[in-house]
Amino acid sequence: MLYAVYIQSVKTARVKRFLYWAGVCDVQWQFTSGWLKQARRCESPHFNARPEAEVSLLVIHNISLPAGCFGLPYIDALFQGCLDVQADASFACLADLQVSAHFLIRRDGEIVQYVSCDDRAWHAGLSSFQGRENCNDFAIGIELEGTDELAYTEQQYLQLDRLTRQLLQEYPLLSPERIVGHSDIAPGRKTDPGASFDWHRYLGGLAG
């Protein structure tokens, strides 16, 4: 009985958070020093200063740990450098891996921020955009909790749309033409956000 009450309380809290983030409460989203006030802040040690490069690219990724499993604490742990690689057999290849993203949008619409947008998160790896290498230098990385094959949720599209609009206002060198998938800047090496991501819906919504 107590477990059922706990699960219901978690679900209720997530609904309330989503309504808050989605702007139902008429909240004005704000950035301070590259941090989104309305995101859950979960700071990663995996970042460094941008090498005199202004933000001019937005990269969409996906992630799930373990693969295809959602709502677990392992993404936070990976980005914070404290993942217990013994927790799942598939984590062995992640030992000593130092990666991060600026944002994660979970399946329920929760937005988590790990690195200030003014700093360089470690999400793109070996990458190139329009002949310019090392995309981490000038990109913001958004992870969607998901897989290449499974459709993303309505809450994720709503939150991604609003977050993107806010970033376009905050960083004037960004534009819809400078929004790409990880697969676009690392072809042959990466496939995310995958065929399950509806680019037409996402970019079409920004144009509306």
**184 torsion bin: left (phi>0), alpha (psi -120 to 50), beta (else):** alpha
CA distance 114 to 118: 12
CA distance 50 to 109: 28
Please pick, among 143, 145, 149, 177, the residue that the annotation labels catalytic: 143
CA distance 11 to 107: 13
The three-state secondary structure class of 165 is helix
**Greatest CA span in the chain, whole angstroms?**
59
> Which helix (H) or strand (E) covers residue 173, if one does?
none
Asked if 143 is an active-site residue, the reply is yes
- Contacts of residue 175, Cβ cutoff 8 Å, sequence gap at least 6: 168
**Catalytic site residues?**
143
